[in-house]
Structure 1
Amino acid sequence: MHCIRFLAILSALSATLLAGCGALPSLPDRPRKAVYQGETFAAEETFSRLFDANVDDTCEAARRALLSQGYVISKAGGGLVQGAKSFQPEGEVHVEIGFHVVCVSDGPKQQVATAYVSAQQDRYALKKNPQAASLGVSALGSISVPLSSTQDSLVKVASETIPAGEFYDRFFTLMQRMLRENAAEH
């Protein structure tokens, strides 16, 4: 009698486990393509633009363009400009865009320069860590009691390079305007 009940319970558990496995997502038949294989290195998708100015003026235009949009410049000089800006699109989500601009001389007299620009978007989420306190009671030992306060921290959950396209086109257009304004002042 006990053996029959045991077998009935065992078969019910087996059926439940099999039904649960059917609810799992199926694995793909083929391995996923690696991210780097999506890199096309196409000439029309560039992160660069040629400017009719020397390296110093081109990088200064990039610096001014970033400053005019609220970016905090962390490095400027030697053909390099780096800056970042923080956003909070949702309550507990924070985003930071970091710009990296490299200016390189082109042409025989180095009167033109190419600006290579790459922007990275980092996404952070708020992680709440409740704090606990230990109380020592001689008869019972140590007891941990959660307190109402928490220690919050931002944790990076995603990071990606912003793809070539309109985002960079708008930046290069602003750089060109800054170059024209700077030339008009001198």
Structure 2
Amino acid sequence: MLMNPPALRALLPACYVALSAALLAGCGLSSPLKSPPKPSVYQNEKFQADETFSRLFDAGVGETCEAARRALLSQGYVITNANTGMVMGAKRFQPDGEEHVEISFNVVCVPDGRNSQIATAFVSAQQDRYVIKKSANATSIGVSALGSISVPLSSSQDSLVKIASETIPAGAFYDRYFALMQRMLREQAADQPQ
């Protein structure tokens, strides 16, 4: 049985509504094309012996941390805190006009061996990245004696916004720092009266 064209035209909007509802319902179902959820960052922490952030030095705690402090100072780092067993320092960089980077060092020196004659330095460096965020400030001044005349005044204010922060992974960066610490220890030992 064939339907006449006016009856067919009357059913057409109902068919569109039913088809649209079916498509929307299908979009709500989970798709097999979705990527699996990313593992948490801490899942990648392996705590392997070869990923060490420490070195053993043939000097006491005081001398080791002093070498750490001098190594940072020699490279332009600003020391933010230093005592017998700990040194903290930071240095800022501006790789391009809009990006700023700050590297912060934390060094902890602990005694090792018999009579604490040697020390282990644990070092961790963190890199923070910032960008400049501009925000406009607008102010109007109304002069009542002249009527309702407003003169717009505007200014902009720049601020640094942190966009990323990470611990620098173990590797060549720390190897260079530990080598500089070792050199500073040798220089300190040479300066000591015999």
Specify the TM-score bucket, using the shorter chain as the normaliser: 0.7 to 0.9
For 1:61, the equivalent position in structure 2 comes to: 67
Question: In structure 2, what is the Cα distance between the partners aligned to 1:119 and 1:51?
Answer: 19
Q: Secondary structure at the match of 1:70?
A: coil
Indicate whether 1:177 and 2:175 are aligned.
no
- TM-score, structure 2 length as denominator? 0.78
Deviations 1:64-99 (CA, angstroms, capped at 9, x unpaired): 000000000011113000000000001011000000
Q: Secondary structure at the match of 2:52?
A: coil
Distance change (3 Å), C-alpha of 1:144 and 1:37: farther
For 1:73, the equivalent position in structure 2 comes to: 79
Task: Supply the RMSD in Å over aligned alpha carbons.
Answer: 2.8
Indicate whether 1:103 and 2:122 are aligned.
no
How far does residue 131 in structure 1 lie from its aligned partner after superposition?
1.2
How far does residue 134 in structure 1 lie from its aligned partner after superposition?
2.7
Q: Secondary structure at the match of 1:59?
A: helix
Q: Which amino acid aligns with 2:191?
A: E
Question: In structure 1, what is the Cα distance between the partners aligned to 2:66 and 2:84?
Answer: 11
Q: Which amino acid aligns with 1:172?
A: F
Q: Secondary structure at the match of 1:75?
A: strand
Indicate whether 1:47 and 2:53 are aligned.
yes
Q: More deviation in 129-138 or 58-67?
A: 129-138
Structure 1: gaps (5+ residues): none
Indicate whether 1:167 and 2:173 are aligned.
yes
Aligned residues: 167
Q: Secondary structure at the match of 1:94?
A: strand
Question: In structure 2, what is the Cα distance between the partners aligned to 1:73 and 1:142?
Answer: 54
- TM-score, structure 1 length as denominator? 0.81
Question: In structure 1, what is the Cα distance between the partners aligned to 2:34 and 2:165?
Answer: 26
Q: Which has the larger radius of gyration?
A: 2
Distance change (3 Å), C-alpha of 1:130 and 1:59: same
| Matched-pair contact (CA < 8 Å) for 1:132–1:144 | no
Residues 95-134 of structure 1 aligned to structure 2 (within 5 Å):
95-134=101-140
Q: Which amino acid aligns with 1:31?
A: P
Question: In structure 1, what is the Cα distance between the partners aligned to 2:89 and 2:151?
Answer: 45
How far does residue 155 in structure 1 lie from its aligned partner after superposition?
0.7
Residues 141-156 of structure 1 aligned to structure 2 (within 5 Å):
145=152, 147=154, 149-156=155-162
